[in-house]
Amino acid sequence: MVLCATLLLIAIVIFGAIPNSPVRKLVKPINAVVSPIQKLIKNGGDALDDFFASIKDGIAIREENKELRSEIAELQYVITQNEEARIRYEELKDAFHIKDSFSTYDIYGASILSRDADEWFSIIRVDIGQKDGLSVEDGSSLAVVDVQMNLLGRVIETEADSSKILPLTHEGFTVIGKVNEVNGAIVTVVGDSNLKNQGLCLVTGIDENTVPEVGTEIVTSGDGGLFPQGVPIGVIESVDTTNPLKITATLRPYTQIGSVKDLFIMVPLVTDEGETEVTSVETVEGDANG
């Protein structure tokens, strides 16, 4: 029966393919009914295939996007690191003029290890010390400047692998300064407990006949031997003349301690006679910091 049915179907197919065949006319109504069903089934199959293909492609695209995001993040990290390295290179390159300006000093570069929460006046610890050749005896000190050769503070203590620096805004800091002009007036720049949170210093010892104006630049005078002459400190921000016998002013330091990463410690060279050489920067009228 199966064989007969198979042969019958084959015969119908063969005769149905012949033009003008009566068999073709007989199966035509059946095709009219079956064809839409076949088309619907075919379209449904194609849609189902497209659906699963979309899911597969979506998964592949999502994985590819994930990999691309990871690569982009890595590239952004590399770019950031390279930019930071470039900036630090430029800063250190600019710092070479410190050695040129102070030929009688050894210049030690250092990086900040830590500082307390209040960065304006806390003690700063740096990553070089006695093993690197730094030492501070009682009553002595070493000047510390930033990469633009502006005064930052002084070394107050050295240990084997680190040193402590007193910033110029600390109330324990004092330096003799002068107005940056020929025969400029001598003043004293000190840290002040009422001004340190503003990042300012107090200027005292002002003569009533030589009161500095707002915007006047103050540099180190070289008096006292702790600091070389001519190192820029900052500019006068305000002047208080209410008491003619005690005129004071506020000074804004050039160095922004909160943003400093690298600094330089100035160690005077010792001559063959055991004396310390002293060098100074020629002071000129105007802005030596620029």
DSSP string, 118-180: -TTTS-EEES--GGGT----TT--EEEE-TTS-EEEEEEEE-SS-EEEEETTSTT-EEEEEES
d(CA 53, CA 81): 42
SS3 106: strand
pLDDT in tens, 92-135: 555 556 666 677 788 888 888 876 544 445 788 898 899 988 88
AA identity, residue 123: I
d(CA 185, CA 179): 5
Question: In this structure, are residues 261 and 112 in contact, taking their beta carbons and an 8 Å threshold?
Answer: yes
Identify the bridge partners of residue 190 per DSSP, sorted by sequence position: 174, 202
Question: In this structure, are residues 276 and 152 in contact, taking their beta carbons and an 8 Å threshold?
Answer: no
From the list 171, 166, 185, the residue with the least C-alpha distance to 239 is 185
Q: Residue 211's pLDDT band (boundaries 50, 70, 90)?
A: very high
Domain boundaries, given as residue ranges, for the chain: 2-91, 96-268
Question: In this structure, are residues 239 and 213 in contact, taking their beta carbons and an 8 Å threshold?
Answer: yes
- Name the pTM for this structure: 0.61
pLDDT at 252 over 90: yes
Give the pLDDT mean for 203-210: 93
Q: Domain 96-268 - what CATH class?
A: mainly beta
Distances (CA, A) of 255 to 17, 198, 263: 98, 13, 10
- Say what the pLDDT of residue 285 is: 37
More confident call, 253 vs 64: 253
